[in-house]
Every structure is written in structure tokens, then in C-alpha cells.
Amino acid sequence: MFRSPDPFKGQKYESIKKDCIKRGQPFVDPEFQPNNKSLFYSKVDSDIEWKRPGELCKVPRLVVEGVTTDDLNQGELGNVWFVTACTSLAHLPKLWQKVVPNHKEQDWGPESEYAGIFHFHFWRYGCWVDVVVDDLLPTKNGKLVFCHSKNKNEFWSALLEKAYAKLYGDYETLKTGYPADALVDFTGGVAEKLDLMQYGVRQNEDDKMEFFEELLDASENSSLIIATISCPQSDVGQSGRQGLMKGYGYGVTAVKKISVNKGLQAATGSGTLLMLRLNNPWGTQEWTGAWSDQSEEWKNLSEAEKKKLGLTFQNEGEFWMCLGDFIHYFENVDMCHFVNTSFFSLKKTWYESLMPGEWTQGARGSPQNRSGGAFHNKDSFLNNPQFVFDIKEDTDTAMISLEQDDKRADKKIGGEHLQIGFHIMKVEENRKYRVHIPGEKCAETDFKQSRNIYGKYVLRRGRYVIIPSTYNPGSVGKFLLRLYTGANSSSNIRELTKEGPERSCCICIKQPQIVLTITIIKARDLEKRDKDKSPGEPNPYVEIKCEGETVKAPIKKNTAVPEWGTMATFYLKKPDTPIIVDIFNHKTLLDEFIGQATIPDLGTMEGEEKEYDLFGKSKKEKKEGTKYPGSLRVRLQSSYDLTDL
């Protein structure tokens, strides 16, 4: 949490600055030199001159009269996605100060302290990096070529863009991208990208409401939300329908669900308004449709009612839209979620786990063969990296982000993002080796040629395996898997690397002979055994015991016919020794035993279901075969190949 950013390319800001001041020479960055290689990978522009801010104005400053969206004007590069993300920073001072650290100390001061060096912080795959740059900037005819402020002596946006270009190799690489990706680099948040054309919100009312609730939850948790209208690069910035501008990102600054008065209900035909407030950071041009500044809808509300409902404007360029118009006119929504991992917070908190990994090619069956492609590649899918985690509550929400190593820096050699996705399956409660036969599928994402894939799921208690993969087998690359679960229970996520139990070289140690998976399906006709015969049904749970290992199934409340679906896998050294399943009734002070099933069978490779009567477990009861009320139904599957199950 308190780790300092790592110096990018090993360049340490403080030591470089001190050395430059000592030598009396401004910094010239050897890692990002003022030449065409730092500008473009596909062309040459001999008209560009690299100049320092002091050559462009008399009194250069990092910030002039505060950080505003006026500081952000895209130049010849056309990297509207990057500039859009920067506008979100401009609205949030704390985030801006995270990216631009100690900006007052960095600013131009006495000539004796000027070193021509600045630094910025970016989040890269699990850690923050500190990127230093010199202040030599691309110009033509004495003017900045790329991102710049309206104020000619303000340079924070131009220097930030240069540091970001250095992070990715050159300026041209920043020509295309997604605002969500830049926001992740600026904040360390989790990106979610929604294509409303594919999301179904325009056709299905339930999907529409689910989408609104997601926006509302994101807004209430201070997520950054940006909406855009897709268009060809040549049309970016052109006026579209109802005053909206094509290709530009609009920030969603508020999401409201509002109960309205009778007058407004009669005018709108609904007692509830689903409203979004948007901000156009590119100027004063605004939406001209329903709920625009001068529209008829506002006449049904007094100023007091507007204030009471929260329908207020905070900045010039802000406007309101109803949900229906929003999903009709906008096509893409990028969100950057800030996940609260603080244990000292009154808000919902999450437990964060970061798992770096890699898709690699290697000999078949080797640990280096970890790129099996998507699920439909039946023969190779399970060769992918596998990560196991636990849900310890009855139900819990899991947020998962799969982020691949950014390929933008490889554009000059034709590099592109891989098509990536992930698959979640429920496995045995005691699973500790790699999965070789697919388990119960719980969720699966679409595969996209995107830097990250995001999913949010409600999972029941148990053990799960996440399999991140590329769409095509044999694709290679690095990735970061981020998992967020309820903060009160760590998920214990870890990578599964072993194929099965290791065989000992010692001949005196008995080796596993068979692998068996038992699924506790259900019990029926269970009865309490307490003498006072307390009212209500039992609260049963089971303990599966095999060769010194115990696996416990969760408590099922107030039922004589519980259903579990709990699975456990055992590697049997003594296949002739039966598995024992004890059933207990959970009580406040002391749990009571209500029956035991002895399972001598191994099942088949395909699996078979069997039902067993319950008996007592004392020596006397076992000897006499004392039968208890109820029975237990299980599924048994086994193989002599220890990697089969």
C-alpha cells in the first residue's frame, strides 16, 4: 500500500535533477531522445523542432490558475481517447496530484534550480512507475504540435502526454486507444468497457434496467464513467444529432432515479425518471433534446423541486438526459472502477488479489505448455494457466479483471492485442491439483481484442477455478489477473501448477492407486436426535472422511431433505478402505450426530449415483448395525489415471 513508485527504465528523478543542477545543464533524456524515433514509427516529419518551454514563452509554468479542461486541447496526433481521460483527471484534484506528484515543487522556479526534468506516475500491471522526461517538446512555427493548453505558458498537459508517449515508445502509438485504459494507467482502477450495440439494452427492458442499476452503483462508488459516439477518425469532433459531438468523450457526472410530481408524471408518462447528467469537456455545445437546458420538461419543475431532486448543474457544458435517450444516442461506455480495499472504511470494502501470469508455448504435457486457447478447444483448453480461489460466505460478489500486457508499444513491429477472456468453473472443495476434466461452468466472458476483460459475479460458497486464456491456442503473452471478493474473507487465490500428487521414490511408501471424486448430492428423511425434541427441522451438514482427510459441506438450515452438491477428490492409497460421511445437526451450543453413511464403492469413470442408508457410529451401533432415520445420495467417479479427474 505504501510502496514508492518504481523508476521507469531505472531513471531516478531526484538524482538526475541534482546532477543536472550541479552541472548547470538541463536534462536531455537518453531514453526518449528529441528525434523522429520518439515521434513516429511509420513516418518522418522533418518540420518538427524540439524546444523547451522557456523558448516558447517568457514565464513557463506547469499550472496556471488551477487545473481545468481548458488545459487540454488535442493537436495533430488526434489522440482524443487520451485527452478525454485527462479531462477526468482535471475534474478530480486528488487523482491529478497522484499522476502529477509534487507539482508545486516541480514547477519552474529560480534559474539556479531549473534542470529541465519532470516526472509523472502511472500504474502498470500491479505497481506504480515513475516516468521522467525532459521538457523538450515537439513544435512547428513556435507552437506545440500535440496536446496543449489554451494558456500559452501552461505546460502540464504537454509534459504529461510526453511521459505517456515515453511509456509506450513514441507519440504515434497514442493515436488510438480507449479512455478506460488511460484511466487505469492514471488511477490503478479496474476498467470495464461496454458496447451498447451488443449489450442488449436497446432491445430488452430487463437489460436496460440492469444497465441503469450498474451505472447508478458505479456513480455512487465514484467510478469514472465516459460515454462516446462511435465514428470514423475523420469525423471526430464533428457535430452529430441533437447537438452531440462525434467521437468525443462525455463524462457522466451524476446518475439519478427520481420519483416525480403529478404534473411531470403526466408530461413524461412515468412516475419515475431515470436520469444522467453529462459533461461536455470540449466546449459549451450541449445536448438539444429532451431535458436540455431550455426544454419543455424543466417547466414542470420549480427551482426548489430541482434542488430537492438533485437535478442541478455544476459546470458550464453540463446537461441532463433520460436513460432512453442516453442509450439511443451513445454507443460506448467506458468505466474505471475504484475498488475500496481499505479495512478502515464505512463503505463496502473488498479483498484484493493480484496474480501475474503468462501464456507460453512448450512441449506437449510440459509445464511450459500453457496456451490452450478458448473453451471450444477441447483437447487443449485445460493446458491454460489455472487459478483456484474460495468463496467462504453463503454468497459473495466476485469482481474479476484480466489485463494483458499492452501491445501498443509493439505497433511498429505489427504487434496487436490478443483476443482474451476467462472461464470460471466450480470444483471440489479440496481441489489442490490442476483440473483435467472441466467442472461445472459458472461464468464465461466473450473473447475480445482488448487490453482488459472485466466481469462481476455472485457466487455461492465453495471452491472455484479461473482459467484465463487467449482465443487461439499457441498465442503467447503476459497478463495480470485481479480478483476482488468480500473484505472479511480472503479468497486464498493461488495458481495450480502440479498435475497431481508426486510419487515417492521410496518403495516403502505406499503410492496413490486411484483418484476418486465424490459429490454429496442430497439427503432425505433426516431426524433430530435431541431428547427434548426441539421444534423445527434440523440444520444438517456433512463431513466427508477419507484416509485422514476431512472435507466439510455447508450447513443447510431447517430442512430434513438438504441438497448440497459439494464435491471432494481423494487420491486413494487404500481403495478397499471405505469413505465415511457423517451427518450432523448444527446447534447453538453443541452439534449432534444424526447419521453416518459408509461408502465402499468407487463408482466408474463415467460416474454413477448411489444411495446409502444411515447408521450409528459407536462401536456397539456399528457392531449391531443400528440403522438411523434417513439416507444419503452421492455420485462417485473414479479412474486409475491420477490426472483424469
For residue 642, pLDDT over 70 is answered with yes
The one catalytic residue in 79, 280, 384, 585 is 280
Residue 132 to residue 120: CA distance in whole angstroms: 7
Cα-to-chain-centroid distance, residue 83: 23
- Cell readout for 616 is 450409528
How would residue 504 be classed by pLDDT, with cut points 50, 70 and 90?
A: low
DSSP-assigned beta bridge partners for residue 356: 480
CATH 2.60.40.150 in the chain is located at 514-639
pLDDT score for 203: 81
Pairing, β 127-134 against β 6-7: parallel
User: pTM of the entire structure?
Assistant: 0.89
Residue 644 to residue 641: CA distance in whole angstroms: 5
CATH 2.60.120.380 in the chain is located at 350-496
How would residue 1 be classed by pLDDT, with cut points 50, 70 and 90?
A: very low
Pair 181, 193: CB distance under 8 Å: no
Point out the least confidently predicted range of 256-260, 393-397, 542-546, 582-586. 256-260
How would residue 343 be classed by pLDDT, with cut points 50, 70 and 90?
A: low
Look at the domain 191-337 and name its fold: Cathepsin B; Chain A (3.90.70)
pLDDT score for 197: 84
Cα 488 to Cα 218, 341, 348: the distances in Å are 22, 11, 11
Residue 280 known to be catalytic? yes
Residue 291 to residue 275: CA distance in whole angstroms: 9
Q: Domain 514-639 classified CATH 2.60.40.150?
A: yes
- pLDDT tens digits along 2-13: 578 999 999 999
Residue 518 to residue 520: CA distance in whole angstroms: 6
Q: What is the mean pLDDT of residues 476-487?
A: 93
- pLDDT tens digits along 595-605: 999 999 999 99
For residue 526, pLDDT over 60 is answered with yes
pLDDT score for 261: 63
CATH 3.90.70.10 in the chain is located at 191-337
- Architecture per CATH, domain 350-496, reads as Sandwich (2.60)
Q: What is the mean pLDDT of residues 132-138?
A: 98
